[in-house]
Amino acid sequence: MKNFFSALFATFLVFFCLYCGKKGDILPPLVRFPQAIEEIRAVQKSDRIILTWINPTAYEDGSTLSSIELVEIWALEEKTGVEESSAKILAEEFEKVAKPLAVIPQDRFEDYTVQDGTDKRQMAYAYDLSGDFLSKKYTFGLRVKDRKRYSAFSVLVSVKPMVLPLPPTEVKAEVFADRIEITWKPPPASGDPSSSPDIKGYNVYRSVGEDVPQRLNSILLEEEKYGDRDFVFGQTYRYFVRASATEASPYLESEDSEAIEIFAKDTFAPEPPQGLVSVSGQDVVAISWDPNEEEDLAGYRVWRREEGTEEIGLLTPEPIKESVYNDRAAEKGKMYAYAVTAVDISGNESRISNIIIDGIRERK
């Protein structure tokens, strides 16, 4: 048995010496390319095409992209009416037929970064149209570069420019109890009817303070008015309107109209309380009424006038929250006229409620 284990151990040493330290095949270094830009849009606005996109944050293998050194913008300008290549061939041959339009280095990214109301860092570039641009189609592609390598081109986006409307005029805003109503006039007609664009509708935009303007209407507006019901009294709002030459998003819009700024001041009193009733006891006159439904209600004021006099007294200098009041200061044997008003948080007071007459009667 001892000889058996000795032989086994010797065999193990032979195999260990043969394979210990043997190197595997030499593998090529890992080559990583940045992901292509996926979120990209191109929309005409007046005599410009606005490109917007979001830079990738990963390599093609999914690992984190630590840094982007630059963004390249390429453009292909084609005459419309000429037979065009298919989108697939155009994408494959884009670098051969297109031309570099702009290079944005990393140290200038902030100059092209815009806020879009989300946490994503969206970038934008404005391409100025010139010459006979109405007879052309413009196709754009973007790519990024890390320290060594370029990404593939983004999805290609194309725009065929058209004549866009002028902005609406005479924009006005008025505060109502339940809305801020914005009205405007259609854009002036062009001197040349043949070149006047067809206006499909309007979009209304609103901003508060330094916030990015947001479109308020979910569908294109056909009338020259809009009621903004999602507002708060005591806030200042800024509105502008754009005319659109298309019926659906992405809208081909005019420039912004002149902006109108308005302070939503609450000057609207609550409705007068309803259903005022009273019950008198031995030493109290209890009055109650139906609660008001205004969201900004601060409370109620209870008024009393002794019958036969003209002097009206306020029983609740501070508005009360409850829709009931017990008058324990009423004198026996006297009759009183009671009424209630409602007050909101802005100090607006309603008209007087219905009047009831009651009092503590003396017992015989």
Is the residue at 19 inside a domain?
no
- Confidence at 19, pLDDT banded by 50, 70, 90: very low
Asked if residue 11 belongs to a domain, the reply is: no
Radius of gyration of the chain (CA): 38
Answer yes or no: do 82 and 147 share one domain: yes
pLDDT for the residue numbered 31: 76
Nearest to 146 by CA among 52, 35, 29, 39: 35
Query: How does the average pLDDT of the chain come out, rounded?
Result: 88
Same-domain status, 292 and 239: no
The predicted pLDDT at position 5 comes to: 46
pLDDT for 248 equals 86
Residues 132 and 70 both lie in one domain:
yes
pLDDT value at residue 10 = 52
Looking at the fold, whether 142 and 210 belong to one and the same domain comes out as: no
Residue 269 covered by a domain: no
pLDDT (0 to 100) of residue 24: 52
> Quick one: 354 and 331 in the same domain?
yes
In a domain, 25, yes or no: no
pLDDT at residue 82 is higher than 60: no
Residues ≥6 apart with Cβ < 8 Å to 24: none
Among 316, 185, 350, CA closest to 260: 185
Burial class (CB in 10 A: 0-12, 13-18, 19+), 314: exposed
* pLDDT given for residue 119 in this prediction: 58
What are 118-139's pLDDT values in tens digits? 656 899 999 999 888 989 999 9
**Is residue 174 located within the same domain as residue 152?**
no
Last-in-domain residue among 159, 184, 199? 159
- At which of 202, 233, 263 does a domain end? 263
Range of the domain at 146: 40-159
Residue that finishes a domain, picked among 159, 186, 204: 159
Whether 96 maps to a domain, the answer reads yes
Distance (Å) of CA 333 to CA 77, 170, 315, 359, 363: 97, 65, 19, 7, 9
Residues 184 and 251 in one domain: yes
Domain contains 268: no
Residues 154-189: tens digit of each pLDDT:
999 999 998 889 999 999 999 999 999 999 999 987
pTM of the prediction? 0.72
Output the domain CATH number for residue 222: 2.60.40.10
Distance CA 337, CA 203 (A): 54
Residue 3 lies in a domain: no
**pLDDT band (50, 70, 90) for residue 8:** very low
Same domain flag for 241 and 285 = no
Flag whether 79 is in a domain.
Answer: yes
Q: For residue 304, how far is the Cα from the chain centroid?
A: 50
Please name the residues in contact with 224: beta carbons below 8 A apart, sequence gap of 6 or more. Answer: 168, 183, 184, 185, 186, 202
The secondary element (H helix, E strand) that includes residue 356 is strand 356-359
Domain total of the chain: 3
Q: Are 193 and 122 in the same domain?
A: no
Co-location of 134 and 215 in the same domain: no
Are 47 and 154 members of one domain?
yes
Say yes or no: 55 and 152 in one domain. Answer: yes
339, 310 in Cβ contact below 8 A? no
Which of 71, 59, 159, 154 minimizes the C-alpha distance to 112?
71
Say whether pLDDT at 15 is over 60.
no
Closest CA to 203 of 156, 236, 158, 171: 171
Residue 116's pLDDT band, with cuts at 50, 70 and 90, is low
